[in-house]
Amino acid sequence: MSLDFDRLQKAHRTAIESLLAARNVAGHWEGELSTSALATATAVMALFQWSTRAQGSAVSRQVLACRALIERGCVWLLANQNADGGWGDTSKSFSNISTTMLCHATLVATRTQGGDASITTLSQNQIVTREEAIQRAADAIKNAGGIPALIARYGKDKTFSAPILTHCAIAGLVPWSTVPRLPFELACIPARWYAVARLPVVSYALPALIAIGQVRQHFAPTWNPITGALRWLARDRALQVLNQIQPPHGGFLEAAPLTSFVCMSLAAMGQTELPAVKRGIDFLMKSVRADGSWPIDTNLATWVTTLAVNALEDDLPAPERPMILNWLLDQQYQVTHPYTNAAPGGWAWTDLPGGVPDADDTPGAILAVQRLENRDEGQKPDQGAAGSDQLEEAPRWPPGGFPLGTHPATSQCLSASVVDAAIENGIRWLINLQNRDGGFPTFCRGWGKLPFDRSSPDITAHCLRAIHAWLNPPKPEDDPDLMWVYGLDDLQHRALEAIRRGETFLENVQRPDGSWLPLWFGNQHVPDDENPVYGTSRVLRAFSDQAATDPGAWTISAQRGVDWLYSVQNSDGGWGGDKGAPSTVEETALALEALLDAPQSLTTNSQRSILNPQLVHGIDYLIQRVEDGTWTEPTPIGFYFAKLWYFETLYPQVWTVSALRKAWKTLSGSP
């Protein structure tokens, strides 16, 4: 198969124009997360628990508004029940035990409002009453294994099994004794001790620990008088902590499910007047969509913007870069985060108040900021940077500036390096987060007990790419590498060591077949919902970046990853999450970009560049999807904590732009 260069160029241009057109009026990308049956079920339950207990004329209008949202939410759930009686997290997801139990409990609890509301379902195109839907859901839960299946799905991690069982207990479907006791009193200890305390939930789930722990104690008190007294004494202090870590607009993590679990638990206890509950209810009422549903989170604006910037590279118009640069710089956390106690220097996935700095969005932001700064293309260092009117034009300095006092222009360097300082602070934040095993966790260092707090290959690879880019910034050929002329400072030494340890971690966790598993992405067509294509492609990008400046960095592990990725390509030229999984635009683009980046993807024969035939087949798959207009259809491959599925409308667009650009650059010989 030969590659048609005209088709490639045209498809690439189409993808670029579509991605640029997807920006919002503020000039950056916001994207759109899939609507969620899980989020809708939990939000409706929270509104129902609050509205049935809230009293007083001051809230009467809000209660009426809640009841309307409850009814619309139930109608949406009825309309989106799958043919097997269950629900999946998105409109494209298979049914799962977690979401089905939540939706079933919500319909049961709210049956006193709306009676047997009927709606034509999308799955069967027939009229189904609430009671019929409830019975079908109950059958689906039984067939899936019920409570034991739910507990088995999450293992020792109670982050999500405890809230689901609480939701069902509030609806009267399970006894309170089935809900795990969560030691909410531990929220009263200093935040720096949380990792030592080994909480039974992950670092980001402290609000659930507090609220669910309290509602469990309220309805099924412990028989131990000492423990009971301790929890009674800790109750008010724990609620104060909850209030302190809640964002001002009420949405914990911008997430409807987490906010809902907190509100329904406390409202079920009669605590409808708590400020945290009132703010949470306000957040839920404001975040509902026009069709009566809720998304899993408000948006991933920061994340998708950095993905878009890094995919477009210099196809992002130069006059529009300063605005995005300034927007990103404004989001870097300058103080300790009250929620996770994260140090200053990181970025979250969104610019909204509920965001928390993490080790996937921070490297993405660092790479984007470095690309947007782009001084070597003639942009002055003061263009678009925060505080630009106070910056002076200066020569290009080594990352992080010279060690203090080693250069006569040190003061000029510091006054001109707002962007460099932001990047350096981000690098320091990442290095300080690195775990003892050499990998990087998502939010907090050292928690390590539960999956979403452990080191992970995809997060580690992203961090290594950002650190490497900081150590090896692009520069003109005649620009001496001043870092090595003047020597390394302490942070640069730490960065090199972090890369070494990170690569060792990646080699240690590589699977026997040569692949790597990610933490934040999956595929419902693959056993155990795994997505080794995503994980392997992300890790290979890190090894390729290293090999670009040090060919010796291309290890045997990296080559095994390449060989594995080639081995799971489908016959149509695309890739799914693993061998045999249906091809998707997202996974095909990710695999292609990683393979095109790898050494030896391009060979020379009679003065002509030739791509590996498998790569040609994969590129042709993407081109065909662009040509037939199906390339923008998203697939539910994202995990939003604890195997909660989502899809994002910008993922296929961003990764297609990136892959086709890489193909064009590789074949045209562009730098």
Per-residue pLDDT tens digits for 215-233 = 999 999 988 888 778 888 8
Helix axes 158-170 and 97-109, enclosed angle (nearest 10): 20
Q: Is a pLDDT exceeding 60 seen at residue 195?
A: no
Q: How far apart are CA 186 and CA 249, in angstroms?
A: 25
Dump pLDDT digits (tens) for 32-56.
999 999 999 999 999 999 999 988 7
Q: Which residues contact 391 (CB under 8 A, 6 or more apart)?
A: 381, 382, 385, 415, 416, 418
Distance CA 108, CA 112 (A): 8
| Residue in this structure with the two tokens 């890094």, named with its chain if needed | 310
488 Cβ partners below 8 Å, 6+ apart?
A: 496
- Strand extents, DSSP E, 30-113: 35-36
Residue 335 one-letter amino acid: V
Q: What is the pLDDT of residues 338-395, one digit of tens each?
A: 888 889 999 999 999 999 999 999 999 999 999 998 654 444 333 333 333 332 332 2
* pLDDT greater than 70 at residue 16: yes
Q: Is 114 exposed, middle or buried (0-12, 13-18, 19+ CB in 10 A)?
A: middle
**For a pLDDT cut of 90, what percent of the chain falls above it?**
69
d(C-alpha 653, C-alpha 19), whole Å: 6
Residue type at 398?
P
Q: Which CATH number fits domain 1-30+513-664: 1.10.10.10, 1.10.3720.10, 1.50.10.20, 2.40.30.110?
A: 1.50.10.20
Sign of the C-alpha dihedral, residues 216, 221, 223, 227?
A: positive
Label residue 629 left, alpha or beta by phi (over 0 means left) and psi (-120 to 50 means alpha): left
pLDDT for 339? 82
| Mean pLDDT, range 192-202, rounded to an integer | 58
Work out the angle between the directed axes of helices 301-312 and 321-329 (0-180°, nearest 10). Answer: 140
**Domain map of the chain by residue range?**
1-30+513-664, 35-295, 299-509
pTM of the model: 0.89
* Separation between Cα atoms, residue 100 and residue 141, nearest integer Å: 7
CB atoms within 10 A of CB 356: 25
In contact, 279 and 262? CB cutoff 8 Å: no
What are the pLDDT digits (tens) for 611-666? 788 999 999 999 999 999 999 999 999 998 767 899 999 999 999 999 999 999 88
Q: Is 299-509 assigned to CATH 2.160.10.10?
A: no
The residue ranking higher by pLDDT, 160 or 87, is 87
Sole residue written with tokens 């028989």: 223
Mean local confidence (pLDDT), 402-430: 62
One fold for 1-30+513-664 and 299-509? yes
Distance from C-alpha of 276 to C-alpha of 137, rounded to nearest angstrom: 32
- 35-295: CATH architecture: Alpha/alpha barrel (1.50)
